[in-house]
Structure 1
Amino acid sequence: MKKTIKDVANEAGVSIATVSRVLNKKDRVKETTRKKVEEAIKKLNFNPDQIARTMIMKETKTIGLIVPVLSNEYWSSVSEVIQEELWQAGYTVLLCATSTWDNPAERESAFFRNLIQRKVDGIIYATNNDFHKNGYHPMVNELIDYDIPLVAFDQNIPGISKVRGMHLRGALDAVEHLIDLGHNRIAYIGGPLFSPDRELGYRNAHTLKGLAVFESLIKRGSPTFQFGYEAMSELLESPEKFTATFCANDMIALGAIQCLDNMGIRIPEEMAIVGYDDIKMSQLIKPALTTVQQPIGEMGAAIVKLLLNLIENKGDILSPQTLVFDMKLIIRESCGAVNSNSQVSMS
């Protein structure tokens, strides 16, 4: 006969509520009492029924994680870090990847509603889809109504605790590095769909160095390998001249590098390339990619800590927190110095 939480309570000589606190690793249990309960659990070979536990404790020990795509190594790494942090805290993850850059709103809203139905204890919104206006997400109010804590990873949603990277500074450092190497016509391949701070950093670097920004050297689109290839192809086919390119993520940079290689343009002798994110592939390609490194481990741990704090203090009025992390320029082979006068004709 299957043992119940009541059997454990009777065996240990404590209340059902005390057994529940031990099972859920709450602090308000004396060490001697905790040991008695743990011994009773072991003696009875008790395994808590998850459905019953959910009904009693009103928690599922499950967290929803929404990311844009897993084929991008950056997002798969972020997901792994967050999942491991939550696992160590006793939570499992329901991972939802939109896998599209064209119309994420409908799919993300469907994910939110499904996670609400599954009664997750909290949601980490880790996406770079900026389809909402002024940082507002249409599902935020619905989550508030259901009392489900929400934290944002690199999204500026008003009133929501978040972890963000200093992308404006990271991009500025990357472009300033190219300028210091002698480049005065630098292309930018990025897009309005994610991290506009990176384009702003690109622009600010030019301003600080007294250089003009050439709008014709800016290409915007989805943060994918394919877009990087196509954008670089368009730049090469135009009459514009440039000797360096700053890409808003490493996947774009890899696509751009493939295009340059197919066109027989040498890196870095004829074209310097800098990416962003420092995915593992950036170290493996030849030449190795200069890029901006994000502290994924620290950011993942921080977002989990923010969410667990909201879960543990559910019902309390907590002020939203914003944790901002520094980026680091990793200098490798792809940004080698080029004589600023030896511009490459792209016609």
Structure 2
Amino acid sequence: MKITIKEVAQAANVSIATVSRVLNGKNKVKPSTREKILHAIESLNFQPDQNARTMINKTTKTVGMLVPELKNEYWMLLLDVIQKELWEQGYTLIIGSTDHQVEKETAFVKSFVEKRVDGIIYSSSVMESAEEMSGIIQLAKKYDIPMVTLNPSISQANCVFGDHIQGASDATEHLIGLGHRHIAYIGGRSVSTKRELGYRNAFMMNNLVVNEALIQRIPGLPTFEAGYEAAHQLLLSGEPFTAIFCGNDVLAFGTIKALEEHGKSVPGEIAVVGYDDVHSARLLKPALTTVRQPIQEIGRSLVELIMDSSSKNLNQTVPKKIIYRMQLIVRDSCGAGLKKEVKN
């Protein structure tokens, strides 16, 4: 049988109002009285009604975060940063993984709204149109739930994002600087399209022409298996290439595996560059050259914007955009340390 606040008050020999003040963190309670109430709560194993507390405090001290997948180490690292930052603020995190499915994304946002979370961190959207995304944003606004996103195309919400065009362009420029001209790209819709744009931008800036046959757009999730299959298809195509730029590190791991199975040495015959700089990138043999995202800074900024938005009227807040530069991390897989010329 559930213990009520009335029974706690009787056990502590105080009024229900005094118990309520203690539960809600009010200061106008004598230390000795507070101690009696806390002892009664513990001895009776009293569990406060969360819905009732939410109605009183107008807050649940929770934030919902939507991510496209949990298999990619990048999202796990970002979630870890955000959860720690929220915990220090007295908040807990609820996670929804969509697997890049529109139905799951919509369902999770509706669930966050029903739970009356104090904010939503919304990762790259899988919605097909601005109208669909606008519907999600408006749903949150209807219930005064602030939303921060990692997708700069969602103009109605505060946003934190990396300059992926710059990051991908730097990675491709690096390969071009090493003498490569036939550079393949493995990416797709589930990877930021800005990375393919950066790849193309580097070619344009160097007066080079992209060979469209060397672009592999994976149809599903950007997994190890997808990278393996895409590299396999590139090798079967017969198109010459000496380097591959992958849209994320996981794709690069699968790519290197496929190249090795086809007897292609990395970086001796084929250079490989990834994106994200997950922890596993430095443990790979050869260690992966990649583009590092400032995960700590991005995570902190997302939390700061959520906390800032929670204290303001959403209808009067002009959306903020915070952008971070990416950093090229040169390791072994690109062949930068080799002393021979690339044969194209």
What interval of TM-score do these two structures reach, taking the shorter chain for normalisation?
A: 0.7 to 0.9
Asked if 1:95 is matched to 2:95, the reply is yes
SS at 2:64 equivalent: strand
Within 1, Cα distance between the matches of 2:133 and 2:18?
Answer: 51
Whether 1:220 and 2:226 are equivalent positions in the alignment is no
User: What is the CA deviation profile of residues 210-261 of structure 1, one whole-angstrom value per residue up to 9, with x for unaligned ones?
Assistant: 2111111111124221211111111101121010010010011111011011
SS at structure 1 position matched to 2:85: helix
Q: Which moved more, 1:142-151 or 1:325-334?
A: 142-151
TM-score (norm 2): 0.86
Structure 1 distance, partners of 2:189, 2:65, is 23
Tell me the SS of whatever aligns to 1:334. coil
Secondary structure, in 3 states, of the residue corresponding to 1:182?
Answer: coil
What's the counterpart of residue 179 of structure 1? 176
Equivalent residues in 2 for 1:329-344, closer than 5 Å: 329-337=328-336, 342-343=343-344
Structure 2 equivalent of residue 143 of structure 1? 140
Question: Matches of 1:156 and 1:145 in 2, distance apart?
Answer: 21
Give the Cα–Cα distance (whole angstroms) in 1 for the partners of residues 106 and 123 of structure 2.
14
Match of 1:26? Answer: none
Instruction: Name the SS for the 1:273 alignment partner.
Output: strand
Question: Who is 1:57 aligned against?
Answer: 57
CA distance, structure 1, for counterparts of residue 125 and residue 334 of structure 2: 26
Q: Which residue in the other structure is 2:241 paired with? A: 242
Asked if the contact 1:154/1:165 (under 8 Å) is kept, the reply is no
Q: Match for residue 3 of structure 2?
A: none
Q: Residues 193 and 19 of structure 1: is their aligned pair in 2 closer, same or farther, counting only changes over 3 Å?
A: closer
Which residue in 2 is equivalent to 1:79?
Answer: 79
Q: Distance in 1 between matches of 2:312 and 2:34?
A: 28
Is residue 66–residue 125 contact of structure 1 (8 Å, CA) maintained in 2? yes
Please tell me the root mean square deviation across aligned C-alpha atoms, in Å. Answer: 2.6
Aligned residues: 325
Alignment-derived partner of residue 168 in structure 1: 165
Task: Output the CA distance in 2 between the equivalents of 1:86 and 1:315.
Answer: 20
Q: Which moved more, 1:43-52 or 1:319-328?
A: 43-52
Give the structure 2 partner of residue 321 of structure 1: 320
Q: 1:230 to 1:49 in 2, by over 3 A?
A: same
Distance 2:162 2:342 in 1: 35
Which amino acid in 2 is paired with 1:113? Answer: K
Structure 2, unaligned stretches of length 5 or more? 1-6
Partner letter of residue 57 of structure 2?
M
SS in 2 for 1:287: coil
Aligned to 2:277: 278
1:115 to 109, 112, 115: 112
Per-residue CA shift, 1:106-144, capped at 9, x if unaligned? 111011111111111111112363533489343112222
Distance 1:291 1:180 in 2: 15
CA gap of 1:261–1:39, structure 2 versus 1, over 3 A, is: farther
Q: Residues 271, 134 of structure 1: CA spacing in aligned structure 2 closer, same or farther, 3 A cutoff?
A: farther
Helix, strand or coil at the partner of 1:2: helix
Letter in 2 for 1:179: I
TM-score (norm 1): 0.86
Q: Which amino acid aligns with 1:270?
A: E
Unpaired segments ≥5 residues, structure 1: 24-33
